[in-house]
Amino acid sequence: MRLVLLGAPGSGKGTQATRLREHLQVPHISTGDLLRAAVKAGTELGRQAKAVMESGGLVSDDIVLGMLEERLTAGDTGNGFVLDGYPRNLAQANALDALLGRLGQPVDIAVQLDVDTELLITRLAGRAQAEGRADDSPEAVRHRLGVYNDATAPVVDFYRNTGRLACVDGVGGMDDVFLRIIATLAPTPEIG
Ligand code: ADP
């Protein structure tokens, strides 16, 4: 199963991606995690990405695509993957389809976690206190939510228009949300 997980910052993508990895027995590929690892390792790519990540903006499409291609060709995605944090704009959505088309591994389904903005802000404020991530400062959070609405929300329509979207209510306990996601993946029973 090749699954793309969509949702705003704070929607619970990371948490659900970890569970999906266990459930589906496929790697969890998070572009945010890959970028944070590059920053921590102090690579050239990490140096380029650091400031824009801390401000809550998007790292350049070229950088992220190159990094993602490297990860998707690492040889462990034969049974699929859970992709988290990509695509974040329409250019990335098209680039992903092109890349996966070349690899013969098209996306099966995009699952969108739906959570309203007020709750996202509350969750991210809680995480800022608990984890101290640099991009969880109030200004960066506001910027990230704005970027999501402007650039990433159209990606939801991209998958809807190509018949690959499942929307899931992301409000509630983590187990409940997970069960809702699993329910969208189960094959629909044939009628008759
Ligand atoms: P969140 O979903 O909570 O914002 P992520 O860990 O997915 O957190 O991403 C953190 C930051 O990493 C983003 O705000 C952005 O700067 C950068 N980033 C992650 N994925 C991408 C991407 N696909 N394109 C551009 N920048 C990205």
Ligand 1 surroundings by CB, under 6 angstroms: 9, 13, 31-32, 35, 52-53, 56-59, 64, 85-86, 88, 92, 135, 144
pLDDT of residue 144: 93
Please count the other Cβ atoms lying within 10 Å of the Cβ belonging to residue 185. Answer: 15
Question: How many residues are recorded in the chain?
Answer: 192
CATH number, domain 2-27+80-185: 3.40.50.300
pLDDT of residue 136: 86
Asked if 16 contacts 178 with a C-beta cutoff of 8 angstroms, the reply is yes
pLDDT of residue 94: 98
Distance separating alpha carbons of residues 80 and 17, to the nearest angstrom: 13
Active site (catalytic) residues: 13, 88, 127, 133, 144
- pLDDT by 10s per residue, the chain, length 192: 999 999 999 999 999 999 999 999 999 999 999 999 999 999 999 999 999 999 999 999 999 999 999 999 999 999 999 999 999 999 999 999 999 999 999 999 999 999 999 999 999 999 888 888 888 888 899 999 999 999 999 999 999 999 999 999 999 999 999 999 999 997 766 665
Say what the pTM is: 0.92
- Parse the chain into domains and list their residue ranges: 2-27+80-185, 31-73
Alpha helices in 42-137 (DSSP H): 44-55, 61-72, 90-103, 117-131
Residue of 53, 54, 55, 149 best suited for mutating to test ligand 1, as the one with most atoms within 8 Å of CB: 53
Dihedral sign, Cα of residue 114, residue 115, residue 121, residue 125: negative
pLDDT of residue 155: 97
pLDDT of residue 191: 66
Residue of 124, 135, 152 best suited for mutating to test ligand 1, as the one with most atoms within 8 Å of CB: 135
pLDDT of residue 83: 98
Asked if 97 contacts 66 with a C-beta cutoff of 8 angstroms, the reply is no
What SS3 state is found at 155? helix
Dihedral sign, Cα of residue 160, residue 187, residue 69, residue 141: positive
What SS3 state is found at 138? helix
Q: What is the pLDDT of residues 99-132, one digit of tens each?
A: 999 999 999 999 999 999 999 999 999 988 888 8
In 3-state terms, the chain is what percent helix, strand and coil (to 5)?
A: 60, 10, 30
Q: Whose CA is nearest to atom 18 of ligand 1?
A: 32
Extended beta strands in 16-56, E state:
28-30
